[in-house]
Structure 1
Amino acid sequence: MSARDDILRRVRTALDSVSPAEAVPPAPRAPDRGDLVALFAERVEDYRAEVTRCAPGDLASVVAEVLGAARVVVPPGLDLDVPGAVVDDGLTAAELDAIDAVVTRAAVGIAETGTIVLDHGPGQGRRIISLVPDVHVCIVDAGQVVADVPDAVGLLDPARPTTWISGPSATSDIELDRVEGVHGPRTLHVVLVD
């Protein structure tokens, strides 16, 4: 008898007293698109952000209503007419500080965490325009919503810079008093187009 045969005999003998494996439960059902979009909206609201859902044809009027009379900056390639908005052509931080709001699009929305990811492509602009104005209105198409972080990472180009947003900017001091707007916009308003 070879060493191999001896090892296999001992494995078989050891397994004789082991009961057969139980059936593996089926994998959890992947949520359907409607469930993902609803979960995304719920989680975004959990972060004290506002969510407005609208049809594609109502997008311009919804964004105008959300902005009111605010002074607005938009990135190149937004593909949405925002009356009175200034298109960012390299505005300085001081110039951006004088602007009330920014309107951008998103690269992806993550349902599980309520996170919006910008990869600063067309319609998203430079990172600074999403961080300096006090109000950020972000347009997320329902088709951009994915289940979780691994799904989102799989869609993003690792060579591009990204900004991950989970609610308005906030921090807490040593006494755990929440302060909003220290590192970015105080108000995040997500317009979910479906």
Structure 2
Amino acid sequence: MNHRDIVLGRVRRALTDVPRTERPDAPEPDAPGVPRGYLRVHGERTAGETARLLAEHLADYRARVHHSTRRELPATIAALLAERGSRTVVSPDGVPDAWLPRGVRRMPDSAELTARDLDGADSVVTGCAVAIAETGTLVLDASGDQGRRRITLVPDHHICVVRVPEQVVGSVPQALERLDARRPQTWISGPSATSDIELDRVEGVHGPRALDVVLVTEDQEPGNRDTSGV
């Protein structure tokens, strides 16, 4: 018997006196409602205010925040890659080719990629599933434009594209409502960092040392660009 069997056995024994209709795996119509008396979001905000709060909290975590329209996005990504001298970029299949500039070698996300392969990549470019304003958190769920979890953990530089306002929510409860618990999730609050007992900050230990977040809004007619949302 391994540790997994021991833990699952304890869970089963703890559920022996719970009515079948109240167990976590009960059919939805028979499952009792879970009391949710807590606040779903702290305060009322417009979509623009929520996006600004996200940007503020991302910056607090030392992520670099950039604003772009859909039309400007390829140029924005190209500038960020050029700034770091990135020549090899990991990106999942769901990331459009138009996002990446010419001259950059694209390394597709695949099961064959090793940790050594990923460590040799200069940057990784992905989308996201949802972004949480109150916590400054990006959530990736391995969808087509996000790829496997490891591609955003090994390379030293991550560019994450967030569509505003549709992918931005105010709070964690609102984010959970959008996520599928059956999918693998990576929750990112700024570049990877840790501190030792003397509070010396070290970056890049558990993931990318640098995080660039591009908040993308819809294109506006020339001369009528609305920047109030971000």
98-107 or 84-93, larger mean C-alpha shift? 84-93
Q: Secondary structure at the match of 2:125?
A: strand
What is the Cα-based RMSD across aligned positions, in Å? Answer: 1.4
**In 1, Cα distance between equivalents of 2:187 and 2:153:** 11
Which residue of structure 2 aligns with residue 108 of structure 1? Answer: 130
Query: How many percent of aligned residue pairs carry the same amino acid?
Result: 53
Count residues with an aligned counterpart.
168
Q: Does 1:188 align with 2:211?
A: yes
Could you tell which deviates more after superposition, 75-84 or 174-183? 75-84
How far apart, CA to CA, are the structure 1 residues paired with 2:196 and 2:42? 40
> 1:30: how far off?
2.4
SS at match of 1:179: strand
Letter in 1 for 2:107: V
Larger Rg, first or second structure (1 or 2)? 1
> Is 1:131 paired with 2:153?
yes
CA positional deviation for 1:80: 4.2
| Alignment counterpart, residue 76 of structure 1, candidates 93, 115, 125 | 93
Q: 1:95 aligns with which of 98, 117, 128?
A: 117
Could you tell me which runs of 5 or more consecutive residues in structure 2 were left unpaired when the two chains were aligned: 1-40, 218-230
Structure 1 residues 29 and 92: CA distance shift in structure 2, 3 A: closer
Residue 175 of structure 1 pairs with residue 198 of structure 2: yes
Deviations 1:23-42 (A, max 9, x none): xxxx9862110001111011
Distance 1:29 1:181 in 2: 34
What is the rounded CA distance, in whole Å, between the counterparts of 2:162 and 2:154 in structure 1? 20
Q: Distance in 2 between matches of 1:29 and 1:49?
A: 25
Instruction: Report the secondary structure of 1:182's partner residue.
Output: coil
Unaligned 5+ residue runs, structure 1? 1-26
Runs of 4 or more, structure 1, over 4 Å off, are: none
**Normalising by the residue count of structure 2, what TM-score does the alignment of the two structures yield?**
0.71
Cα pair distance change 1:54/1:95, threshold 3 Å: same
Once the 2 structures are TM-superposed, how far is the Cα of residue 114 of structure 1 from its aligned partner?
A: 0.5
Alpha-carbon contact 1:60-1:80 (below 8 Å) kept: no
